[in-house]
Each structure stands twice: as C-alpha cells, then as structure tokens.
Amino acid sequence: MNSPSEARLEIEGLTFCYHSRQEPAIQDISFDLQPGEVMLLAGASGCGKTTLMRCINGLIPKIYRGSLEGQIRVYGRPVSEMSMAELSQSVGTLLQDPERQIVGSYVLNEVAFGLENLGLPRGEIMERVERTLDYLGIAHLRDREVFNISGGEKQKIALAGILVMEPRILLLDEPLASLDPASSSGALQLFRRLADDGISVLLVEHRVDEVLAIQPERVLYLEDGKAVYLGDPQGMLDVVDYRRVKLPARTVVRRARNAEPPPEFQPALPPPTQQPLIDFQKVGFRYRPELPETLRGVNLQVHPGDVIAVLGANGAGKTTLVKHALGLLKPTRGQVLLEGQDTRKLTVAQAAHTIGYVFQSPTQMLYAPTVEEELAFGPRNLAHPPEQIRADVSWAIRTVHLEPELKTPPLALSFGQQKRVSIAAVLAMRSRILMMDEPTAGQDYWNYRSFMDTILQMPGFEAILFITHDVDLAVIYANRILLIYNGQVAADGSPHAVLRDEEKLRACRVLPTSLLELNLELYPQTGRFLRAEALAQYVA
Amino acid sequence: MIVSFNYRNRHSLLERLDPRARWIFSLLVLFAITMFWDVRFLLFFLALTLGQYYLARLTWRETRRAWYFVFFIMTTMVVVNTIITSSGTIGAAMKGTHTVIFHQFTIPITGWIWELNLTVERLWFAVTQVTRILSISALFLVIPFTMDPRQYGATFRGMGLPDRLAYTLDLAFRFVPTLGRDFQLTLDAQRARGYEVEKVEGGLFTQIRKMAPLVVPVTMNAILSGEDYANAMDLRCFGLRKRTWIEKLTYHWRDYLWIGFGALLLIASVVLSLLGYGEFWVPSILLQ
Amino acid sequence: MEKKSLWAFGTREVVYAAIGAALYAVLSIATNFLQIPAAANVSIRPAVAIPMFFGLAFGPWVGLITGLVGNVISDLISGYGFWPWWDLGNGLIGFIPGLIYLQMTDFRSLGDIIKAEIMVVVGVAVGMFVASVSEIWVSGIDFATSMATNFVPAFISNIVNGLILVPILMIAYSAVRGRSGR
C-alpha cells in the first residue's frame, strides 16, 4: 500500500448542499485514492453518489451551485484552483447512460471531441484517437455511425472519448446500468485492466455482487449522504443491510440465518389450462426487407397461470417478440393469435384490452399534469366506465405504494417513482395479461422486490411475462423461463430445467449468478427455487 | 420511426466541390435570379439550375415528393395571384389592356362586386413566375441529397460562424435519429395504453390537444437528457478555447472556379438590370 | 435554476438549441399526417410549439436556432430543398417568445402563461409576415396574394397549434425543472 502522500486524489471532510435544497446531499466524506486502485462506491439511489462525483470532476461548483465545505486535492493541488481544462486532463468521468453523453454522430468525431476542444493540432488528435481505439479493441468501429452501434460498444466509445484525454483518475457512474450481464462482465474486466495499467478507478455501482468479481481494493459505502463503511470488500459484506443492497447469495444466507424467516411468497394466479392466451405460430419478423430476420420461426404459447421470465442478451429479439403479442409489430411470416384472433386483424387498442404492456423507460410515456390523470389515461382510452376507472386507479396506486403522490405531476417524481407510476398506469387498465420490459431497471433493490412481490401476489392477472437481464429476478419469481438467442427460442421450460444448463446459458450470453448456483446446489432439498433469505433455513 | 437523411454518396461532380463553395454559389445565383422578370433571362437560369440538378444524378423517385410539393404551392400562388387578387408586384406591367376574358361577378348576400379581368399581360406574367419559381426550386432542391450531413458543422465554421454555433448544427444532426427513435417508442408506449392517433374525433382543438401524450414525453425526455449532454461536454472542455475541427475542408481550384462563376452571374445580372434589361417582358406577337 | 443573461450562449444553450432543432424537425415529419391541403407552404403541425416553448424556456437564441435550424433539417429530411426566408420566419417564431425568457419564473402560473401566449401570437405574426412578404420578392406575387396564400394559412395553423400546446408544455416543464438540482 502506498503512503497517503502519494495519493492521486484526497478528500477531506467534504460536505455539499445544493442551492435549491435544505439537507446536504453529502456530509463529511473523507477518503483517498491510490494509483492503480479500483474503489467501489456503493449505495442505494439518492445516497449522494452522483453529488460526490460532481464535486470531484468540477461540475460542482462550476455548474451546480451550493455550499461546499472541505477539501478535494488532485495530485496535492486543490481542485478549486484548477481550470476545467487542467482538471479534465486529470479526472475523466464516464456518465451513467452512454447514449446521453455521446455528442458526435460518428465514432471518430465522438472520440476526438475533447481534444478538438483543447485545440490540439489535427495530426496529434488523429494519432491519439487511433491509439485509444486500438487500446480498447474497437478500431474497426472508427468510421461507423454511433446511432447504429450496440449498447456495450457505445459505452466503449464513450470511454474512449474520455481516455483519449489521458486522465489518471477515472470516475465511472453506474456503468453497468444499461448493459446486459455478458457485456457488463466484459466492461468490468476492462475497468480492472485500466487500473492495472495505472489509472485510479472510482466505480459507482449498486450491483455490488457483480463488481466484487473484479476484486476492488476498497469499498466506500454511503447511506443518506454519509459514509457508513470504508475498507476492504470483505468487511462491507458484514455491515451493509442485505435487504437494501444486493449482496452475494452466500453472504445473505449466512447473515439471514439468525434473522426472522421471510413471509411465505404465494403467487395468486389461476390454475393452468390448455387453452392458450397467446399463440405464436412459426413467427418470423424483419424490420426492413433488406435486413436479416430479428425473429426466426418462433413457436410459443402463453397459458393462464404462467409467470414467464424472458432472458437473453441485448439484441437477441426479446422486445421484438413481446411487441408482437400486442400487435405493435406484425409478423412478416407466420402468425400470432391473441385469444384465437390473428393480431393482423386487431388494432393495438383492441389488443390492449387483453394485454397490459409496461415499457422499459417511464419517461417515454408520462405526460399528464397529475399521477391520477396519468393512471386514468389507459382505462379512458379503453372506454371503461368512470366509476370503474376511479376504483381501478386507486387500487393501482396502492399496489405501487404511491398513494401520497396522487395529485403530484408524474414528471416531478424521482426515476424510481416514475417507473412505478408507469407500472400502475398499466395495472389500472385491468388487462388479463401483464407484460413488463425490464421492470426493475433503475429501481432500488428493496423497492423492486417489494412491488414485484405485490404484483405477483395480487389476484387479477391470468398470466405475467417479464423481460429481464436480472437472472435472480427470474429465479425468484418465474415459474417458466424463456431463453431467447438470435431471434429463436433457445430453451423454454421450468426454471430448474432451463437454468441448470450452464453451458447453454453461457452460449446464449446469460451468466449464472451466485443465487442461481446456490439454488441449484440446494435443489434436492428445496424442490424449487427460492430467494436467498428463504434458503437460509436449508443451509446447515 | 427511422428518421434518416437522404444523403448517400453518388460520386457526382457536385459532391466533389467544397460544400462552402456550393452554398456561396447557390446564394449568389438566388440573388441573380431575383433581379429578373424577363422570361428570356429566366429561361437561362432555369437551364442552369436544371443543369446542376442533372449533375447531381438525382432520380425522379427520390425527388418526386419535393417536386409535387413545389408544384402544389406554385399553382396555388400563381392561380390566386393571376385570377383573384390580380395586382402584381411589378405594378404597371400588369395593367395590360389586351383582355382575354372579362367578367364581373356579384357575390351573393354581401353584394360585393368582384371583377375577373384576364389579360395577355397577366397570363404571360404567370408564365414568367412559373419559370422563376422553378429555377429557384431546382437550385435548392439538390442540397439535401448531395451534402454529407456530417460536414454541415465544419462547413458553416469554415464560412465564419463561431465555434459554438457551428457545433450546434453538428449536434442537431446527431440528435435527429435518436429523437426519431424516441418518438416511435413513445408512440408505441401510448398505443399500448389504448391511445389511437389515427382516430379522428372532435374538432381541430381536440385533435391538437390529443397530440399532448406524444409531444410532452418526447420533449421532456429530451430536455432531461440535455442536462447530461451538457455535463458531458463541459467535462470535455467544450467552449473553453478555439477548437480544432477534424473534419477538414480545403478549397481547390474548381471551388474557386465555381464561386467565380456564381459571382460573375450576379455581377452580370446587376449590370444588366442597371442598364434596364430584365424588366417584365411580353412577346410583341402576343400583343397584336 | 439560475438565469444570468438574456443573450448568453454557453454549453447548455448549445445543447438545448441542438435538441430543440432536432426535435422540431422530427416532430414536424412525424406528425405530417395532419396536413391541411388548402394551406400553402404550411400544414397543421403541433411541432411548431417546440420553437416557441424552447424560446420561453431557454432564451431567444435557443428559440431562434430551434425554429430556423429545425425547419432547415425538416426540409432536408423531407427532401424539400432549402427555403431560407421560411427558415428565418420559423426562427422568429422561437426568437420572439424568447425575449421574455427572463420574466418566466413560474411556468405553471396563469400570469406567466398569459405573457407567454401573447408573445407566441406576436412571434407567429412577425415570423410568418416576414416569410410571406419575402415571397413577394422571390415569387413575384402581390401583397394580397402573399397574405391570402401564405400568411393567413400559416398564421392560423401556427397560432392554433401554439396556443394550445405551449401551455401544456409549460406545465409539464415546471414539474421537470425542479429535478436537476441546479
């Protein structure tokens, strides 16, 4: 371990309060960062992670105003004395959503952006851009249009645009949020390599379980703007509340052994019948005639009583598949029957009587001046009677625990709350089948488990289907798994039947989790998949 | 909805010219054209701009919609101008005496009297107008098909626009496909909630209010993402000093030639109009 | 949120001007199905509320660029060519409401909405007048024709769209505004 005087970054007693708020966002934070070190900064959303990063990269106080106390030094120099140009060449920041920080239309322009702004000569810019692209192994993307590039590669491009400025400290703000598990594992390996090559990495992430795989040197855990823990990863596992942050399954089992066992989880769904609700018959689909097929001969039936988790890598065709059920897309060959009717002959509005579909991003659908009106929008379109609408709206809002916000504009809520409003908006339509695309994205661990529990345990739905990257969600909630790979159904069956085939999962770019491994191990005793707390009683 | 640009490299002569030279040329020619009301000169310009159109190697399929649009607007303007309002910009010339049709209507109820007085001069003026509008349309119609969108920023920087303004253009082009995709997502999400945009109901006001579930989410989402984009740009030193543009444009001899040609046309036009040429002209054979 | 000067054009203005322009173009194209065939050069476009609103929310330059560049891009994508005087007219639709940017404090209050609506009307009137009058010079029509075929239809459709949608956007924006922490 290096002595503190060699630290790249030193923070002492840092407190910041935004101009527009009463409570400080972070309070009395102190730590330092060494060369070649990966430090994990963990905590639930709203814990002050983003604020802390803004203090380090200079956005606070240059852009965001408020009262700042304490010291931040980079290479021994106070950040407040450094210009943005100096600071940006010492501290690089990768923001959460790669899509929202790429400003160039083409890869070359994007990566060159920072150096162009520094006014360097064209020759030097080109040389450094080429070098960085080579380092990240994406030289082949150089002349591609950014818009048509996949999420994982987009993130590498955004990272290239930062590394090209040769920072020695790298801040990464929830870099895994928009990646599928296979890509995030690749991204994590890359961050480790950056640190091994001498860069100091501060990695903000709440997916603690996954980050531990690259063995961060230290962990800083924040709660409500205060540092609760600073030290090696092992120690954190004993301190952090496993109900709030997702920890490795074995840790949870160990710690939950002495705790109260969780209440029994009892899904409320009708008994299975033979008559399918949705029937995909040899469905093929291509977006444009010149493109290859996105779906390739899918056969699939959804029956009452099904709780289906759809797993698969980004771009495998999961969302395309689900959009067919609702008729948002019509098959280019084969047919989709919704309760026996060809979706080609139904309007989307007619299909919406049967299927409620929650889209991935809530911000893309919320528009009304109050939550109440937002929830009534769907049922009104479906011409439900007013009394029923009133009853359904109040039932839906209770389900997602947002009763106090009924009169609040949905756009003023936090992202997590908005997501729940978007789910409630579909619940209020009282459809028979519920479909959700990434229901847990951007949600706190505690929150999403709580509303998933409620939704599955409430009567009303005949079948539920959700797309997810989170294998644990499939393990805990599904009674049927659909594995999609390259536009085809690679596996379809009970969780145990599908998820025990690790080789096939990996071939489909789905990675087993610690919870899955533990469940498979204990399956002879349990006979079904359970959440980590419930497994505690089976472990000796 | 995939919103994309019509540009693809056609390897035409026009694309080998520097885009700055082409903008300058187009503006010079626009000013030259507007000096004439003499159809003989205008026919020259029509030939010139159609020549440029031909050089761009455009197909009818690609430009069909644009031409329909031009024809539609042109027809409305010319018909209204010739038949209904019938005074004309160039005053005296329109007050022809060679009447073809004369008719007086009394508009029922109001009792207003409206005169239809079609003269040879007026009809010929319409012909002149059509030639003029077509020349200008052909001049500008080629631009979207033959200019690489990634060069707009550098082009306008090269024409003297400040860095920030020029970069705004680049950024706007960057956002177009993203927002097109966002719009499609919002449309799908609302349709899944039973929203039917195709259904015509209520009057104009209701119809416009019905756009809110589409317009509001797309706009607010874009504004929220703007915060991130701006941060990302500040963190990479945008606007701190004079920036380098890696899209490099260089004038070649053919670009100077092209600008020179445009300038020559404008100068010649100015001189001709000072000498009294280019005023409205009707072939004397029609005035017999 | 701090507002410094009416005419500032920093990174944020660059981004919002670019977003506004792209949004104006995309919405114009996406909602073209509401065309009114009797109107020359213009259609019923809810998109026209975008430059007005961006002017009010981010200042006159952002409004100007949103309208002007947005119209250029929308014409580029539709393949309609380049019509500088109509682009300028659309720019003014955003620029003029932008002039009261500093007076906009509470986007939900009736007072601010009324002020905004007045500026919307002035902006459309001036913008469409400039564009229509240019047609006199370019196409050689007379004043009455330009008013009848260009100004009146453009004015009416833009006013109707703007007056209805600008307040809706303002109310939505007032909810969004509190979230950034600036």
Please name the member of A84, A92, A122 whose beta carbon is closest to the beta carbon of B244. Answer: A122
Q: Report CB contact under 8 Å: B144, C76.
A: yes
Report whether pLDDT(A469) > 80.
yes
Residue C2 resides in a domain: no
Where along chain A do its domains lie?
1-90+168-180+195-240, 99-166, 278-538
Which residues in chain C have their CB less than 8 angstroms from residue B179's CB?
19, 22-23, 26
DSSP three-state, residue A440: coil
> Residue B187's pLDDT band (boundaries 50, 70, 90)?
very high
Q: Are B246 and A109 in contact (CB under 8 A)?
A: yes
Angle at B132 between CA B127 and CA B133, to 5 degrees: 100
Please name the member of C46, C77, C173 whose beta carbon is closest to the beta carbon of B3. Answer: C77
Q: Are A463 and A488 in contact (CB under 8 A)?
A: no
Q: Is C92 on the interface with B (CB under 8 A)?
A: no
Q: Which of residues 4-23 of A touch C (CB under 8 A)?
A: 18-21
How far, in Å, CA of A322 to CA of A319, rounded?
Answer: 5
How far, in Å, CA of C163 to CA of B81, rounded?
Answer: 31
Radius of gyration of chain A (CA): 25
The amino acid present at B270, given as its one-letter code, is V
Q: Report CB contact under 8 Å: B235, A118.
A: no
Q: Report CB contact under 8 Å: B190, A357.
A: no
pLDDT at A414: 86
Q: Are C151 and C128 in contact (CB under 8 A)?
A: yes
What's the rounded mean pLDDT across residues A461-470? 93
Phi and psi, residue B103, nearest 5°:
-155, 140
Each residue's pLDDT tens digit, B258-273: 999 999 999 999 999 9
Q: Are B268 and C50 in contact (CB under 8 A)?
A: no
Q: A485 pairs with which residues across the strands?
A: A488
How far, in Å, CA of B185 to CA of B190, rounded?
Answer: 9
pLDDT at A98: 87
Report whether pLDDT(B88) > 70.
no
Each residue's pLDDT tens digit, A490-522: 999 999 999 999 999 999 999 999 999 999 999
Q: Which of residues 230-249 of B touch A (CB under 8 A)?
A: 230-248
Non-local (6+) Cβ contacts of A533 within 8 A are: A242, A252, A253, A256, A259, A261, A262
Each residue's pLDDT tens digit, B225-258: 999 999 999 999 999 989 999 888 889 999 999 9
The interface predicted TM-score (ipTM) is: 0.91
CATH number for the domain including C67? 1.10.1760.20
Each residue's pLDDT tens digit, A396-440: 998 888 999 999 999 999 888 898 899 999 999 999 999 999 988
Report whether pLDDT(B48) > 70.
yes
Q: Which residue has the tokens 């097929």?
A: A293
Q: Report CB contact under 8 Å: B240, A115.
A: no
Q: Report CB contact under 8 Å: C171, A65.
A: no
Residue of B nearest to C77 (CA): B5
How far, in Å, CA of C25 to CA of C171, rounded?
Answer: 23
pLDDT at C40: 37
From B110's Cα to the closest Cα of chain C, the distance in A is 20
pLDDT at C50: 98
Residue of C nearest to B178 (CA): C22
From A134's Cα to the closest Cα of chain C, the distance in A is 30
pLDDT at C93: 97
Domain A1-90+168-180+195-240 has CATH 2.40.50.140: no
Please name the member of B88, B176, B234 whose beta carbon is closest to the beta carbon of C73. Answer: B176
Residue of C nearest to A102 (CA): C15
C-alpha A339 chain-centroid distance: 33
Q: What average pLDDT is seen over chain A?
A: 91
pLDDT at C39: 35
Q: What is the 3-state secondary structure (H, E, C) of chain B?
A: CCCCCCCCCCCCHHHHCCHHHHHHHHHHHHHHHCCCCCHHHHHHHHHHHHHHHHHCCCCHHHHHHHHHHHHHHHHHHHHHHHHHHCCCCCHHHHCCCCEEEEEEEECCCCCCEEEEEEEHHHHHHHHHHHHHHHHHHHHHHCHHHHCCHHHHHHHHHHCCCCHHHHHHHHHHHHHHHHHHHHHHHHHHHHHCCCCCCCCCCCCHHHHHHCCHHHHHHHHHHHHHHHHHHHHHHHHCCCCCCCCCCCCCCCCCHHHHHHHHHHHHHHHHHHHHHHCCCCCCCCCHHHHC
* H or E segment and range at residue A328: none
Domain residues for the domain of C24 are 11-177
- Closest alpha carbon to A55 in A8, A99, A100, A87: A87
- Count how many pairs of residues, chain B against chain C, have C-beta atoms within 8 Å: 221
Q: Report CB contact under 8 Å: C81, B164.
A: no
How far, in Å, CA of C43 to CA of B282, rounded?
Answer: 36
DSSP three-state, residue C107: coil
DSSP three-state, residue A42: strand
pLDDT at B114: 67
CATH number of A278-538: 3.40.50.300
Q: Report CB contact under 8 Å: B240, A117.
A: yes
Residue of A nearest to B240 (CA): A117
Q: Which residue has the tokens 């009677």?
A: A385
Residue of C nearest to B139 (CA): C81
pLDDT at A2: 43
> Residue A354's pLDDT band (boundaries 50, 70, 90)?
very high
Each residue's pLDDT tens digit, A80-121: 899 888 999 999 999 988 889 999 989 999 999 999 999 999
The amino acid present at B181, given as its one-letter code, is R
Phi and psi, residue A201, nearest 5°:
-115, 125
DSSP three-state, residue A15: strand
Q: Is C4 on the interface with A (CB under 8 A)?
A: no
The number of folded domains in chain C is: 1
> Residue A450's pLDDT band (boundaries 50, 70, 90)?
confident
Each residue's pLDDT tens digit, A131-185: 999 999 999 999 998 988 888 899 999 999 999 999 999 999 989 888 888 888 9
- Give percent above pLDDT 90 in chain B: 44
Report whether pLDDT(A314) > 90.
no
How far, in Å, CA of C154 to CA of C152, rounded?
Answer: 6
The amino acid present at B133, given as its one-letter code, is I
Phi and psi, residue A226, nearest 5°:
-120, 145
How far, in Å, CA of A285 to CA of A295, rounded?
Answer: 5
Angle at B233 between CA B232 and CA B238, to 5 degrees: 155
User: How many residues comprise chain B?
Assistant: 288
How far, in Å, CA of C123 to CA of C92, rounded?
Answer: 6
Q: What average pLDDT is seen over chain B?
A: 86
Q: Is A140 on the interface with C (CB under 8 A)?
A: no
> Residue B85's pLDDT band (boundaries 50, 70, 90)?
low
Please name the member of A92, A125, A326 whose beta carbon is closest to the beta carbon of B246. Answer: A125
Q: Which residues of chain C have pLDDT under 50?
A: 1, 34-42
Q: Report CB contact under 8 Å: B88, C140.
A: yes
CB atoms within 10 A of CB B9: 8
Q: Report CB contact under 8 Å: C176, A20.
A: no
Radius of gyration of chain B (CA): 25
Cis peptide bond prior to A4, omega within 30° of 0: no
Q: Is A367 on the interface with C (CB under 8 A)?
A: yes
Q: Which of residues 21-80 of C touch B (CB under 8 A)?
A: 21-23, 25-27, 29-31, 34, 40-41, 44, 46-47, 49-50, 53, 57, 65, 69-70, 73, 75-80
Phi and psi, residue A77, nearest 5°:
-100, 135
Q: Which of residues 120-179 of C touch B (CB under 8 A)?
A: 135-145, 148-150, 160-161, 164-165, 168-169, 172-173, 176, 179
Residue of A nearest to B230 (CA): A101
Which residues in chain A have their CB less than 8 angstroms from residue C10's CB?
none
What's the rounded mean pLDDT across residues A378-405? 93
How far, in Å, CA of A257 to CA of A540, rounded?
Answer: 9
CB atoms within 10 A of CB A213: 15
From C78's Cα to the closest Cα of chain B, the distance in A is 8
Q: Report CB contact under 8 Å: B77, C141.
A: yes
DSSP symbol at B248: -
Q: Which of residues 98-137 of B touch A (CB under 8 A)?
A: none
Q: Is A409 on the interface with C (CB under 8 A)?
A: yes
Report whether pLDDT(B90) > 90.
no
* Chains adjacent to A (≥3 CB pairs closer than 8 angstroms): B, C
Q: Which residues of A451-465 are buried (b: 16+ CB within 10 A; e: fewer)?
A: bbbebbeeeebbbbb
How far, in Å, CA of C40 to CA of B101, rounded?
Answer: 27
Each residue's pLDDT tens digit, B141-174: 888 888 887 788 889 898 889 999 999 999 999 9
Phi and psi, residue A10, nearest 5°:
-125, 130
Q: Are A187 and A176 in contact (CB under 8 A)?
A: yes
Residue C1 resides in a domain: no
Non-local (6+) Cβ contacts of C153 within 8 A are: C36, C38, C39, C40, C41, C42
DSSP string for residues in A204-248:
E-S-HHHHGGG--SEEEEEETTEEEEEE-HHHHHHHS-TTTS---
From B169's Cα to the closest Cα of chain C, the distance in A is 7
How far, in Å, CA of A102 to CA of B93, rounded?
Answer: 58
- Closest alpha carbon to A154 in A166, A136, A134: A136
Which residues in chain B have their CB less than 8 angstroms from residue C161's CB?
208
Q: Report CB contact under 8 Å: C175, A412.
A: yes
Please name the member of B192, B231, B236 whose beta carbon is closest to the beta carbon of A348. Answer: B192
How far, in Å, CA of A398 to CA of A128, rounded?
Answer: 55
Residue of B nearest to C182 (CA): B227
Report whether pLDDT(A5) > 60.
no
* H or E segment and range at residue A100: none
Q: Is B68 on the interface with A (CB under 8 A)?
A: no
Q: Of A23, A105, A411, which to mutate for an interface test with C (greatest number of C Cβ within 10 Å)?
A: A411
CB atoms within 10 A of CB A315: 16
How far, in Å, CA of C94 to CA of C66, rounded?
Answer: 7
Q: Are A486 and A316 in contact (CB under 8 A)?
A: yes
How far, in Å, CA of A226 to CA of C75, rounded?
Answer: 53
pLDDT at B219: 97
Q: How far apart are the first and last CA of chain B?
A: 59
Burial status of residue A274 (CB atoms within 10 A of its CB: 0-12, 13-18, 19 or more)? exposed
Q: What is the 3-state secondary structure (H, E, C) of A28-97?
A: EEEEEECCCCEEEEECCCCCCHHHHHHHHHCHHHHCCCEEEEEEEEECCEEHHHCCHHHHHCCEEEECCC
Where along chain B do its domains lie?
15-149+251-287, 153-235
How far, in Å, CA of B241 to CA of A88, rounded?
Answer: 14
pLDDT at C130: 95
Each residue's pLDDT tens digit, B123-135: 888 888 899 989 9
Which residues in chain C have their CB less than 8 angstroms from residue A64's CB?
181-182
Radius of gyration of chain C (CA): 16
Q: Report CB contact under 8 Å: A412, C178.
A: yes
- Closest alpha carbon to A49 in A245, A197, A199, A193: A245
Non-local (6+) Cβ contacts of A207 within 8 A are: A176, A184, A246
Q: Are C30 and C53 in contact (CB under 8 A)?
A: no
- Closest alpha carbon to C116 in C167, C68, C178, C69: C167
Q: A223 pairs with which residues across the strands?
A: A226
pLDDT at B95: 59
Q: Is A1 on the interface with C (CB under 8 A)?
A: no
Phi and psi, residue A278, nearest 5°:
-125, 140
